[in-house]
Structure 1
Amino acid sequence: MRAAKRARLRSSSSRTRAVSGLAAALAGAMALASGALAQGATATPSPPPAPKPPPAQPPPQLTQADVDGAVARLDGVVRSMMKRTGVPGAAVGVVYKDRVVHLKGFGKRHIGRPGDVGADTVFQLASLSKPVSSTVVAAAVASEEDTAADAGTVTWDEPVTPHVPGFALKDPWVSRHVTVSDLLSHRSGLPDHAGDLLEDLGYDQAYILGHLRQEPLAPFRASYAYTNFGFTAAAEAVARTKGVSWQKLSEDTLFEPAGMDSTSTTFADYEKAADKAVTHVRTADGTWQAKYVRDADAQSPAGGVSSSATDMMRWLRLQLGNGKLDGRQLIDAGNLEHTHLPQIVSQPPTAPAARTGFYGLGWNVGYDDQGRLRLSHSGAFDLGANTNVTMLPGEQLGIVVLTNGRPVGMADAVALDFFDTAQYGKPTTDWLPVLAGLYEQEADVGKSPVDYADPPADAKPARADSAYTGTYHSAYYGKAVVTTDRNGLVLELGPKPMRFRLDHYDGDTFSYVTAGENQVGPTGVGFTAGDDGRATSLRVDYLDEDGLGTFTRG
């Protein structure tokens, strides 16, 4: 899963979908699907004593007929939602009791070119990478029975900072104590999506992890904020403790043993796949185009995995089989179960009778109205991908939905519709507009309230260009250079650098149109001038949510 716009809908802020893809908002939607929110509850003074509860009854199990009915409906649901949304392609698979009971591709890999989506078509998973990566970590950490103390042993409570060069957090005590579990469950205190804007500007993983120490911290282990690069730091720590790269660890512990031959953590492997679904976005005229390329290598464990529906079925069987696949115990059952346990409250209840949402280790963790564990995760790239996995481990039932279109709710809605049908015989609601509305709300969060295309009637003139040109510095974002071309002022940001035209708005305020996964449309750039009329600093609005967006002339 500004897939990743930080999703305030999921107790996050508004920067990206890379990731995450409406984690807590989707958890809330699933609570609705399970009848978890009370309607019109009222308090009664001096209630009578509660009757003695009846003996606990196990929740009713799904039957083969229940699952068959949901599977029979699935193709029609997918085709209908593709028609309603225009999403170009999808691949869907279902596992029940260790059998793949549905596996099919739909639509096109690339609009305007030949090639249909099939079960073996490779998709970018976005934040669906997180539960895949936590599976890798579960295979790498020591089991409860393993007490060996050799140099390659790593545990869930392994401190991360010693293993990742340059990585630290703002508070030295937190830096010393933050563990693999803390970062995989987003409870480190880092701000929501910390580091994502550095990635958008072109900085690599080493730079980003080395600058998270400048981010302000919320209370450690007492606050949830979804952080792709915090998650990445934990995974990298595990790999480095083992003395290998993250890709090598993933291949050795999961992809190769599980027969996931089309799965990789590198963008290069995705790019060279002959049978791949490219990302698509919906343009202003309503058509879908393959307009952007999303390279997520910097946050590979959190959002950079690519895979096919065929491979994801093997991973889903492994998950539902408690680490066993084709008769072989590939991952310690206790370690895998540990990833499914709640680690932090991700969505507090919104009403007295509402259900709480939790985050585990790479999983959204919830419980339905019958008390059954329900695990899910969405993935979303604003630049053109949306994915979902949902499963009821106790029923040995799970679904994976992969799409190659910008998030419009389809992947999540297909999963919700499927589980509704299996559990209740029919959908409890039309989930597509519900999820589409949530994604649209998320897309609007972070956009400037100022209409920079329409300067005020009494706008003050700008100073001469020479008052603004020069080099400015930020300890977090690096160098910003203001220069000119034949059209006026240009702002250069990032290591490449990226060039943005500055349009005058009012006085010392300009704007430019943001770009990348976390783009929010136009954003303001305000210069502060000294007594000599020359700018001494500039502040970029959308880079300043955590107070780090000011650059000082140097």
Structure 2
Amino acid sequence: MRSGRNFLCLAVVCSMVVLGGCTDDAPTASSPPTSEPAPPSDLSPGQVAGVDVPSGRIDEAVGKLDGIAEELMASSNIPGMAIAVVHGSDVVYSKGFGVREVGTDDPVDGDSVFQLASLSKSVGATVIASQVGAGVIDWSTPVVSELPWFALDDPWVTENITVGDFYAHRSGLPEHAGDLLEDLGYDRRQVLERLREVPLDPFRSTYHYTNFGITAAAEAVAAASGKDWDTLSQDTIYGPLGMTSTSSSFSDYMARADRAVPHVLVDGEYQAKYQRQPDPQTPAGGVSSSVNDLAKWLTMLVADGTHDGRQLVDPDALLPAVSAQIVSSPSATPDSRAGYYGFGFNVSTSAAGRTTVSHSGAFALGAGTNFVWIPSLDVAIVVLTNAAPLGIAETVTAEFADLVQFGEVREDWRTLYKNAFAGMSEPEGELAGTTRPSNAAEPQALSSYEGVYQNSYWGPATVTEVDQQLTLTLGPDGTTYELMPWDGDTFTFEPSGENAPDGSISQATFDANTLTLEFFDGDGLGRFTK
């Protein structure tokens, strides 16, 4: 069982991205910036690219985005997509495709608001950089200095882990620690308090992607600022940039009239079946925005933190976020490039020898997003979709990046990303897709399994027998699962939520006064005692 597969980033997949995007009715590339790249003599060895990009190449790439988007919409059948491209200080492309919700004629445009999922991490990192530049906090500030109630499993790590450590995913917490607690209905503070129960891997030498690690760091920054995270984000980034359709509050997203609804694929057709509510991990995955708003954010990045002549984010505070801090994807072979992570941003090197900065976002319940920025060319692209992740957003950005850097699409990104994302919708559990053995032993009297089984991480598990049916109840929302006999003292149940694709099957095994739940045992925390 994968531990909390939340789909909010995909670091290995992100490291493949070179650039991509698409959007709505804003100006096309009629008058892009005229700034020329610095001559090689003015560059450091690490800034030299292996392939030159001639004048007009970016215009040509932008001119092909309509065709790329229309082909991918037709081949994937996703409901809607929006794309924007920034070149220098100009938004040179913004366009929407498809509809905000299947069964309606409401079109996607550049102002349509999507859930960003993990692209929120990069947006939030610029909020933190603004506070670092203002002297409110530093990337090296210990989190516990602002959140004295917070702790991890190791006291030394608790005292020393910094805002930057969490934003670089080098805390030692296992992948997606806390995500399943969120699925069960625990709020932000409750999840963060329970992280102290999770065994740690080596501190600062292991990369494990964690939404609630990011959230802990953001909460520390908010505490230092004297504001809640949503207000801090609005006051430092959204408001000053004029991002009027952007929010870190789920209720604001739901109130938008021009809202792109999430969709999942059911029996070959997209349906608006679920709605992801990410407030507990808002700094990591709860931002909603439009491509027109994100284009404003990207122009600020391209301009080293400047907007309309005003320095919103100090360049020295921003640089650590958008530069490599830890290896996220080690090279698998001597001839392959490694992937890196900064503070809330993926950092990699393209085949053309240019540094790219990016992030993907994905909700299994219906969102797929990606942005890519090539600093040496002052160009960036963002793509938002309202469908469960298939790699469509990443395909658009990768094809656009190829066109910008090489003048042609050099790889079959459509197949590469289709294959990379294929396993994400696979059901969880060893028994998924199987049937009960014909020689299975019958369970004991169902009443013998009843009781309250305690667990300090998950909280109590209550097992009840009603009308010859055994049920399991977990979490503050009282999430209930039917326990179906499998073999003797082993039962099965169907987990649900962001981290459990349809068809997932988990085992519940009773042994005297203990209950072990396979789905909740990814980090060895799934044993409950009566």
CA contact (8 A) 2:389 2:421 kept: yes
Contact 2:263 2:367 in 1 (8 A): yes
Match of 2:41 in 1: none
State yes or no: 1:441 paired with 2:423. yes
Contact residue 114 and residue 290 of structure 2 kept, 8 A: yes
Query: Aligned pair 1:303/2:291, yes or no?
Result: no
Equivalent residue of 1:405, what SS? coil
- Quote the RMSD (CA, aligned, Å): 1.7
* Equivalent of residue 256 in structure 2, options 273, 294, 315: 273
- Give distance in 2, aligned partners of 1:131 and 1:64: 30
SS in 2 for 1:225: coil
Q: Which residue of 2 is the match for residue 464 of structure 1?
A: 445
**C-alpha deviation, 1:64, in angstroms:** 4.1
Q: 540, 549, 554: which one pairs with 2:517?
A: 540
2:367 match: 385
Give SS of 1:257's match: helix
Does 1:498 find its partner at 2:498? no
Per the alignment, residue 13 of structure 2 pairs with: 25
Name the amino acid aligned to 1:255: Y
- Residue-by-residue CA offset, 1:496-541 (whole Å, 9 max, x unaligned): 1011111111000111111100015111111112xxxxxx111110
- The question of whether the paired residues in 2 share the 8 Å contact of 1:378 and 1:387 is answered with yes
The answer to whether the 8 Å contact 2:238/2:246 transfers is yes
Asked if 1:16 corresponds to 2:6, the answer is yes
Partner Cα separation in structure 1 for residue 405 and residue 424 of structure 2: 29
Q: Which amino acid aligns with 1:195?
A: G
| Number of residue-to-residue matches in the alignment | 502
Give the C-alpha shift of residue 438 in structure 1: 1.2
* Secondary structure, aligned partner of 2:524: coil
What is the match of residue 354 of structure 1?
Answer: 336
**2:326 is the counterpart of 1:344:** yes
> Against the structure 1 CA distance between its residues 487 and 515, is the aligned structure 2 distance closer, same or farther, given a 3 Å change threshold?
farther
Rounded to whole Å, the distance in 1 between the matches of 2:432 and 2:374 is 46
Gaps of 5+ in 1: 7-12, 32-54, 147-152, 530-535
TM-score (norm 1): 0.88
- Name the counterpart of 2:526: 549
| Residue aligning to 1:484 | 465
Q: Matches of residues 86-165 of structure 1 in structure 2 within 5 Å?
A: 86-142=77-133, 153-164=136-147
Cα deviation per residue 1:250-274 (whole Å; 9 max; x = unaligned)?
0111010111111100100001111
The whole-number CA distance in structure 1 between the counterparts of 2:484 and 2:87 is 56
Q: Deviation at 1:29?
A: 5.4
Judge conservation of contact 1:165–1:210 (CA < 8 Å) in 2: no
**TM-score of the aligned structures, taking structure 2 as reference length:** 0.92
Q: What letter is aligned with 1:549? A: G
Q: State the Cα deviation string for residues 114-148 of structure 1 (Å, max 9, x = none).
A: 311110010000000000000000001146xx6xx
Regions of 4+ moved over 6 Å? none
Matches within 5 A, 1:206-245: 206-245=189-228
Q: Residue deviations 1:367-399, cap 9 Å, x none?
A: 224432211100000000000000101110100
For structure 2, list consecutive stretches of 5 or more residues without a partner in the other structure.
20-43
The superposition leaves residues 289-325 of structure 1 with CA deviations (integer Å, 9 ceiling, x where unpaired) of 0000100000000000000111000000001110011
Question: Secondary structure in 2 aligned to 1:401?
Answer: strand
1:440 shift after superposition: 1.5
Q: What is the alpha-carbon distance in structure 2 between the residues aligned to residue 229 and residue 182 of structure 1?
A: 13
Q: Are the equivalent residues in 2 in contact too, given 1:452–1:511 (CA < 8 A)? A: no
**Structure 1 residues 338, 451: CA separation in 2 closer, same or farther (over 3 Å shift)?**
closer
Matching residue's letter, 2:12: A
Counterpart selection for 2:408 from 420, 426, 429: 426
Equivalent residue, structure 2, for 1:42: none
Q: Trace 1:303-322 onto structure 2 (pairs within 5 A).
A: 303-322=285-304
Decide whether the 8 Å contact of 1:341 with 1:360 is kept in 2.
Answer: yes
Amino acid at match of 1:505: W
| Identity %, equivalent residues | 45
8 Å CA contact retained: 1:452, 1:505: no
Question: Hey, what's the Cα distance between the residues in 2 that align with 1:437 and 1:58?
Answer: 32
Aligned partner of residue 365 in structure 2, secondary structure: coil
In the alignment, is the contact (CA less than 8 A) between 1:24 and 1:364 conserved in 2?
no
Q: Deviations over 1:413-441 (max 9, x none)?
A: 00001101111122112212211211112
Q: Which amino acid aligns with 1:262?
A: S
Deviations 1:221-273 (A, max 9, x none): 00000000000000110010111100111011101011111110010000111
Change (3 A) 1:58 1:438: closer
For residues 72-97 of structure 1, the C-alpha deviation after alignment (integer angstroms, 9 at most, x for no partner) is 11111111111111110011000012
CA distance in 1, matches of 2:139, 2:17: 30
* Residue 179 of structure 2 corresponds to residue 196 of structure 1: yes
CA distance in 1, matches of 2:285, 2:14: 18
CA contact (8 A) 2:18 2:401 kept: no
Name the aligned partner's letter for residue 294 of structure 2: M
